[in-house]
Amino acid sequence: MRNAPTILHLDMDAFFASVEQASKPSLRGKAVIVGGLGPRGVVATASYEARVFGVHSAMPMAQARRLAPNAAYLVPRFAVYRSVSEQVMALLRALSPLVEPLSLDEAFVDLEAGEAAWDGESARLAGTRLRADIRAATGLTGSVGLAASKMLAKIASEEAKPDGLVLIRPGTERDLLGPMSVRTLPGVGPATGDHLRRAGITTVEELAEAGEDELVRMLGKAHGHALYAMALARDDRPVVAERETKSVSVEDTYDVDIHDRLRVGTEVQRLADRCVRRLRGAGLSGRTIVLKVRRYDFSTLTRSETLRGPTDDPAVIREAAARLLESVDTTGGVRLLGVGVSGLADYTQEDLFAQGAAAAAAAEEAPEEVVPEAVELPPEPAERQWRAGHDVRHAEFGHGWVQGSGLGRVTVRFETPQSEPGRVRTFRVDDPELETADPLPLVRGEGGKGGRGVKRGEAG
């Protein structure tokens, strides 16, 4: 670890929901929930106003509606989120050549590499200026964590939420981490947290006191070693400018274990279709199909099958996932299922897969650690339809967005990011004067000079 807090972690606040609020004046300061609105939909992002009611990401949308019935429910607009993300990432790259994006709304920055900071004072100034530049360029807020390691910078940004900055000074890490929950550490999810709790370990300090040998015995060699190092605030991972996409995958965790084998098979097919949509949305195809199954006892199995060449054919991927499932015992119940594709390429050799089943190699078991890292990619663009939150234009009333539709009618609120809250009007779904439209910019002009940071000699 370095001796100055010059690793920065940026996490945009409730990103999808905040973009929607910035785009739609009538939603500012109100509960906004973005996600799939169908019967199987889940929450992608909830605004802070919605979180007051207990709504959070990955929650089933039906549950969110029960908790916050008066919130605005919108489908995602990934093209808009990508555009805003590009603006934010450009500001980060103005600070340093070493920027490691983790998702559309999150990234690490090595401030030393760009000479944007070299000590605590200059790092804090760089983080403060970055937050101001982001607000000027996009109208949005982001939370910044500054520390001597990636793990601690990420923890700091979480402590800074929403719309804040937290700096962890070198030498104070152990005291800061000690009383925190073990769930604060990366890689400690509900299952590992429960396992540690049953062993009487609930805080990071108790984790460190348990010792490396005990953690290895409890959690296995790789996880035990890593968790012990994190408990001691050890993290020497560098900021990596380019993160290669290793796989595209989707998975679902179920509130109630699935026991019906037919239902398990149906879920795997559904996940395979979702995975294909993400592949195609990213312009990718892949050779290796991976099935992930977490059983009732939290044991996790993976099965993989490598095809003769890359594909994005949904039938081929569904068939491969079904074959992999045949080799998995789901007796006792399943709590998580996932389907992924690795061995990615930017082309498809469709002629190789006329007979999907014949293209399969033998399925083989692999430990969980070898499953390639999943990345979050936007789904395939939806067909033109009146979807809640999407942009429209009317020949007479101008730009607006869909509040809802049904029974042959569509309700539109006419407003822009720079206007006052607009009026609502209802039209027939086939009204010839109403059409889909491109989103408008969140702010006028370029906004902000862009992430200058602070060079040596400027601080103070």
Residues catalogued as catalytic: 106
417: cis peptide before it, omega within 30°?
A: no
Shortest CA distance to 12 belongs to which of 116, 86, 109, 88? 88
Angle formed at CA 291 by CA 285 and CA 293, multiple of 5 degrees: 150
- 3-class secondary structure, 353: helix
Q: Which residue do the tokens 């991976």 mark?
A: 290
DSSP letters for 65-132? HHH-TTSEEE---HHHHHHHHHHHHHHHHHH-S-EEEEETTEEEEETTTTTS-SSHHHHHHHHHHHHH
Helix, strand, or coil (residue 443): coil
The H-or-E segment that residue 267 falls in is helix 261-281
Q: What burial letters (b/e) apply to 190-203, b meaning 16+ CB within 10 Å?
A: ebbbeebeeeebeb
Instruction: Determine the Cα–Cα distance for residues 386 and 390; give it in Å rounded to an integer.
Output: 7
Nearest to 75 by CA among 326, 308, 386: 386
